Amino acid sequence: MDPIRSQRDLKLRPHLHLPDFDGSLYIDNTVILKETPETIVERYWSESGFSVAAHSFRETVLDEFVEVSRLGLDDQSRIFEQLNHYQIECPEVLLEKPFWGGILLRDHTDPTVCNMLEIWNAHVQRYARRDQLSMNYAFRKAELKPEVMHIDNLDSWFHGRWLDNDRDLENGMRLPFASLMPLEDRLRELETALAQQREALAEQARIHSKNLTDQAREFASIINAKISRLRAIRASKSWRTARYLSHLVRRYPRLTTFVRYFFERFLERRKTS
């Protein structure tokens, strides 16, 4: 048993390692409590004997498998052997909303809870050490429905997260076994990446469209101001206006033809007046 799975045994079997206690509140080493443990226990202790938070940024257990594989957080052969097991025996569990294992509140005296914990630990020891991959399966096999805490995993009224840890995600075990990913799950990974790219492109398109709209409005405002000025010149009989019109022609050569038309009409009116 490696050090990580040794820690998982302590985490997943509190009824064995803490026999003198009827219950326990487990928190991950990245979790910082804002409230006392007593306050949390009082708020979330349930008749089911097990309270756990839903995963706040993963939609399905299958998505969690894909992400664990992508980050190389465990041996790829174990990850996909476990995934194939669930796809054959209990495929519906892969479509469930996953749970987050950072905060666990459990009743050590409840036989159903203890059975679930033994199933859970067995799968962590046999397959991937990422316990969130097997939690839903263990709940289903033990026929236990936990109390779900609907909180943001990064920050809630009673906890925060310390994420500046020393985990080296680039030093995973992903690349040597990359080809072991089943085609269906590779497709899911690519679909997720494609959806993210599409969302990013759509956001860029919205920003670009807004900029074009703002520029068009600004240009229209300038043109309208120029047109209003020219209309005022056209309606005027002042020699000062004629001089300004001549200056305008020299400064804006492209408007020469347009301005000359009004200037000639102005001179004609001067001759007949």
Looking at the structure, do residues 171 and 261 belong to the same domain, yes or no? no
Which residues are CB-neighbours of 142 under 8 A, at least 6 positions away?
112, 115, 116, 119
Residue for token pair 């790829």: 76
56 in any annotated domain: yes
259 in any annotated domain: yes
Residue 271 lies in domain: 236-273
Looking at the structure, do residues 135 and 244 belong to the same domain, yes or no? no
Looking at the structure, do residues 126 and 227 belong to the same domain, yes or no? no
How many domains does the chain fold into?
Answer: 3
Model confidence, pTM: 0.64
Looking at the structure, do residues 171 and 247 belong to the same domain, yes or no? no
Q: Is the pLDDT of residue 254 over 60?
A: yes
Looking at the structure, do residues 214 and 241 belong to the same domain, yes or no? no
pLDDT for 96-143, tens place per residue?
999 999 999 999 999 999 999 999 999 999 999 999 999 999 999 999
The structure tokens listed for 177 are: 């076994």
- Ranking 18-27, 36-45, 133-142, 227-236 by mean pLDDT, the lowest is 227-236
Burial 141-158 (b: 16+ CB within 10 A, else e): bbebebebbebebeebeb
Looking at the structure, do residues 11 and 62 belong to the same domain, yes or no? yes
Looking at the structure, do residues 256 and 227 belong to the same domain, yes or no? no
pLDDT for 262-273, tens place per residue?
666 666 766 666
Looking at the structure, do residues 247 and 227 belong to the same domain, yes or no? no
* Strands (DSSP E) found in the chain: 23-27, 31-33, 50-54, 99-107, 147-149, 159-161
Looking at the structure, do residues 165 and 213 belong to the same domain, yes or no? no
188 in any annotated domain: no
131 in any annotated domain: yes
pLDDT for 66-79, tens place per residue?
999 888 888 888 99
Structure confidence at residue 174 (pLDDT): 45
Residues 126, 30 contacting (CB under 8 angstroms): no
Structure confidence at residue 260 (pLDDT): 62
102 in any annotated domain: yes
255 in any annotated domain: yes
Looking at the structure, do residues 167 and 204 belong to the same domain, yes or no? no
187 in any annotated domain: no
pLDDT for 187-244, tens place per residue?
777 788 888 888 888 888 888 888 888 888 887 788 778 777 767 766 666 656 666 6
Looking at the structure, do residues 242 and 113 belong to the same domain, yes or no? no
Structure confidence at residue 243 (pLDDT): 67
DSSP one-letter string for 228-239: HHHHHHHH---H
Looking at the structure, do residues 174 and 198 belong to the same domain, yes or no? no
